[in-house]
């Protein structure tokens, strides 16, 4: 639907493994270093996969009050800290925002799982009681029960009183939440939307549930090189936590205040594969369709795409599926287009990663430098595109495509165009 209203990104905030803040994140992913390590949050020895990418994050040092830190699950803490960094980056302060014309759209795949599990262990007496004990329940348990509490916290913090939502489409949540934020502005319901995603899932139940389907890597003795998207030796993803939040603005609103514009969100689409809750059809047809529609919205020819930020989770099936989808949608141009997976460095933070990857794309455009796929030494013969192995590549990128794929069958694609800036 073309309403004539266009949406640009004017601020970025990131909490990611390997360093808090946007610039620390960029330093890591542009250097090709990795932040995947043996899990430190709990003893991982009973689990098949014992590797994760954890954030060094102290909520109070990051500016939250002790009360906020107590009240919020870690995922909400990440999102609020990122929203503040994004606003500062955009040059807006909360007093500049018209509350009624400001919205929030935060994605999260598993919400407050870490907080829920911690509280479960208390009220159930470490799993001994099915009839869990209400006397030990904390008031914030309800906030963990309904993850819309995360978006509420962000809205209160920035002073948003327009449309607010939490979007939860599994591992495409981070793309879909920014896509929804774009729609809210395009449709005239707000002029500014604080949009992004967060997940802090490194908790025993999450590790166990991916163990059960062997989706995560068992490469425990090589934790630092455990995430190997597109490599022949890849054997699952590395669980991670992270958040990225953006200031989205209507183009005229940004221009009138002379804002620095990272890029326009010129296309976004999502499709379901209607195939399997965790499986992918190898042909990549639904992701290709999402890419086709996203390019079409931005009136962009496939040959104009300068870089593809891959979902690249490092599971056997994902990397083949995605390679097929990019070939199907970009045709011959797929072979000429550099493509990389930052999950090789910072792991897979479920619903958050789609937004973190948008951040990577915007910073890559700013720096004219494409982040690499770390740990890629010997590509799978079925993965025969240019995945920028190990070392970042200098290249001017004006049009960038980023894609995501999630449990439930969700396939999403977003096109970012710097020429608007």
Partner 1 sequence: MNKPIVTGIGVLAPTGLGTEQYWAATRNGAKGIGPVSRFETEQYPVVLAGEIDGFEAREHLASRLLPQTDHMTRLALVAADWALADAGAKAEELPEFSAGVVTASASGGFEFGHRELEALWSKGSEHVSAYQSFAWFYAVNTGQISIRHGLRGAGGVVVTEQAGGLDAFAMARRRLRDGAGLMLTGGVDSALCPWGWVAQIACGRLSTSADPERAYLPFDSAANGFVPGEGGAILVVEDPESAAARGVARDYGTFAGYSATFDPPPDSGRPSALRRAIENALDDAGCQPSDVDVVFADGAGVPELDLAEAEAISAVFGANGVPVTAPKTATGRLYSGGAALDLATALLALRDGLIPPTPNVSELAPGIDIDLVTGQPRRADLRTAVVLARGYGGYNSAVVLRAPDKP
Catalytic residue positions, numbered = 171, 311, 348
Nearer to partner 1, 24 or 132 (CB): 132
Give the footprint of partner 1 on residues 284-323 (CB under 8 A).
286, 289
CA–CA dist 259, 270 (Å, integer): 29
| 251-270 footprint of partner 1 as x/- string (CB under 8 A) | ------------------xx
Contact 54, 78 (CB under 8 A): no
Give the footprint of partner 1 on residues 59-118 (CB under 8 A).
99-100, 103-104, 109-111, 116-117
Separation in Å, CA 321 to CA 121, 411, 415: 38, 11, 19
Separation in Å, CA 250 to CA 46, 79, 190, 193, 395: 50, 22, 8, 9, 28
Among 15, 167, 295, 400, binds partner 1 (CB under 8 A): 167
The packing angle between helices 74-90 and 113-123, to 10°, is 150
408 binds partner 1 (CB under 8 A): yes
196 binds partner 1 (CB under 8 A): no
Contact 39, 52 (CB under 8 A): yes
45 binds partner 1 (CB under 8 A): no
Nearer to partner 1, 162 or 371 (CB): 162
| 350-389 footprint of partner 1 as x/- string (CB under 8 A) | ----------------------------------------
403 binds partner 1 (CB under 8 A): no
Q: Work out whether the CA dihedral 25, 359, 404, 117 comes out positive or negative.
A: positive
Nearest to 348 by CA among 259, 165, 217: 217
Contact 331, 300 (CB under 8 A): no
Among 409, 413, 414, 417, binds partner 1 (CB under 8 A): 409
227 binds partner 1 (CB under 8 A): no
Residues binding partner 1: what is the number (CB under 8 A)?
A: 86
Nearer to partner 1, 131 or 258 (CB): 131
End-to-end CA distance of the chain: 22
């Amino acid at each position: 639907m073309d309403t004539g209203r266009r949406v640009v990104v004017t601020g970025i905030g990131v909490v990611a493994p390997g360093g808090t803040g946007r610039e620390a994140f960029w330093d890591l992913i542009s250097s090709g270093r990795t932040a995947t390590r043996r899990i430190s949050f709990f003893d991982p020895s009973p689990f098949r996969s014992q590797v994760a990418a954890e954030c060094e994050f102290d909520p109070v040092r990051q500016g939250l009050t002790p009360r906020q830190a107590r009240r919020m699950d870690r995922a909400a803490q990440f999102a609020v800290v990122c929203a503040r960094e994004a606003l500062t980056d955009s040059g807006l302060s909360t007093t500049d925002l018209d509350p009624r014309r400001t919205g929030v759209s935060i994605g999260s795949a598993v919400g407050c799982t870490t907080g829920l599990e911690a509280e479960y262990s208390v009220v159930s007496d470490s799993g001994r009681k099915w009839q869990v004990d209400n006397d030990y329940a904390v008031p914030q348990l309800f906030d963990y029960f309904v993850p819309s509490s995360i978006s509420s916290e962000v809205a209160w913090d920035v002073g948003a009183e327009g449309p607010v939502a939490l979007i939860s489409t599994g591992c495409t949540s981070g793309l879909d939440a920014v896509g929804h934020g774009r729609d809210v502005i395009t449709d005239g319901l707000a002029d500014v939307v604080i949009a992004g995603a967060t997940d802090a899932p490194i908790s025993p139940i999450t590790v166990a549930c991916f163990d059960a389907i062997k989706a995560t890597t068992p490469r425990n003795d090589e934790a630092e090189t455990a995430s190997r998207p597109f490599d022949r030796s890849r054997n699952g993803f590395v669980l991670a936590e992270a958040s990225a939040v953006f200031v989205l603005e209507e183009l005229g609103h940004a221009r009138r205040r002379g804002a620095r514009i990272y890029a326009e969100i010129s296309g976004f689409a999502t499709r379901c594969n209607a195939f399997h809750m965790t499986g992918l059809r190898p042909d990549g047809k639904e992701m290709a369709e999402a890419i086709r529609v996203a390019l079409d919205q931005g009136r962009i020819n496939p040959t104009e795409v300068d870089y593809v930020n891959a979902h690249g989770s490092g599971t056997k099936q994902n990397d083949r599926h995605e390679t097929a989808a990019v070939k199907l949608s970009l045709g011959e141009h797929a072979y000429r287009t550099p493509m990389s997976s930052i999950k090789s460095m910072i792991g897979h933070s479920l619903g958050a990663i789609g937004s973190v990857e948008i951040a990577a794309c915007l910073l890559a455009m700013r720096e004219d430098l494409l982040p690499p796929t770390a740990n890629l030494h010997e590509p799978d013969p079925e993965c025969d595109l240019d995945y920028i192995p190990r070392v970042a590549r200098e290249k001017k990128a004006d049009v960038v495509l980023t894609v995501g794929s999630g449990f439930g069958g969700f396939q999403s694609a977003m096109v970012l165009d710097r020429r608007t800036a």
